Amino acid sequence: MKRIGMLTSGGDCQALNATMRGVVKGLANNLDELEVYGFDDGYKGLIYGNYRMLSSKDFSGILTRGGTILGSSRQPFKLMRVPDEKGLDKVEAMKQTYYKLRLDCLVILGGNGTQKTANLLREEGLNVIHLPKTIDNDIWGTDMTFGFQSAVNIATEAIDQIHTTASSHGRVFIVEVMGHKVGWLTLHAGVAGGADIILIPEIPYDTEKIIDALNKRTKEGKRFTILAVAEGAISKEDAVLTKKDMKKKLEERAKKFPSVSYEIADKIFKETGLEIRVTVPGHTQRGGSPCAYDRVLSTRLGSYAAKLILEEDYGYMVGIINDKIKKVPLEECAGKLKMVTPKDQTVEAAKRIGISFGD
């Protein structure tokens, strides 16, 4: 008999259901007895004891279903040691729920903040397996996170659709892609969608360089320009500000512009007089069915997690490195971000074919 708990925490994305399916099927096909407890709305369910026993039927037909059948919520890691409004010790409450259900393992699907809490529970003595979910692909220790490729496909399609109207009207279009701290999603969607300028958080931009790129295209007789801009893109001037000054700057910007893309559009218009439009795909990038790549990746990750549970080998994140599924100790990867570097081969390839990064 194995008893496992499962939860999905943080922002939703495609392939959460597919990954849980991989875990449960990997266990059910190799055990005579299995009990699976699903916690509602992420760590909140574990803290307050909101759970339900799941059967094999719950995991049938969900390979292609987006979102999460368990629900999700954000529970900031920095607040995990802070009692709730009623004085409840959240960490102790999670441990009590775990022991009450006599769980053999807790399978946690989520991003960076989720992973840090998973490692905290490991340090508290619980058996934990973490599966790396995020459309940002920013988890250290794995080449790919599930949800990323599906989001790339959606963001790329948004850029594809903009091409026709941009070329018809001879306009400058900015497509704002998700990504506050890292630019993997914008980088890949920008390259795949044929963007002319890509702005990401890791490579601070110079507005004059952007304008130079626009003017160069105009001189070459090109009627339109498309910019793929990460929501966390930052100028060279802002990149050197202290956290306090940057926070103040963002507060001031929010009074004038909905996001960085609108600020960039305003600066370009004032400098050039060019007609500019901003498109924000927003949460559509998290939605819909997982793409074929993510379905395969999720099945591989989930199946390997089942293997670790069968072997009672706990305390790991399951990742993929050089197309091989690997276990990575949680203490080694928790809290680390995988950033885009200016020397990344995809960045270099993009620059080689003429894509500007505003630097």
Please give the positions annotated as active site: 136
d(CA 206, CA 219): 20
Taking the CB of residue 288, how many other CB atoms lie within 10 A of it? 16
Q: Which residues fall within 8 angstroms of residue 55, CB to CB, at 6 or more apart? A: 36
Query: Chain centroid to CA 278: how far?
Result: 22
Q: Which of 184, 178, 186 is nearest to 156 (CA)?
A: 186
d(CA 98, CA 103): 6
Q: Which residue's entry shows tokens 């570097």?
A: 341
Inter-residue contact 180 to 11 (CB < 8 Å): no
Q: Is 69 in contact with 12 (CB distance < 8 Å)?
A: no
| Cα separation, 318 vs 129, whole angstroms | 7
Question: How many beta carbons lie within 10 A of that of residue 84, not counting itself?
Answer: 12
201: Cβ–Cβ under 8 A, 6 or more apart, which residues? Answer: 179, 180, 181, 182, 183, 230, 232, 233, 234
Q: Which residues contact 270 (CB under 8 A, 6 or more apart)?
A: none
Residue with tokens 């006599």: 102
The packing angle between helices 243-256 and 260-272, to 10°, is 70
Indicate the pairing of strand 225-230 with strand 276-279.
unpaired
DSSP SS3 for 320: strand
Q: Which strand (E) or helix (H) includes residue 314? A: none
Dist CA 201 CA 208 (whole Å): 17
Closest CA to 266 of 205, 230, 258: 258
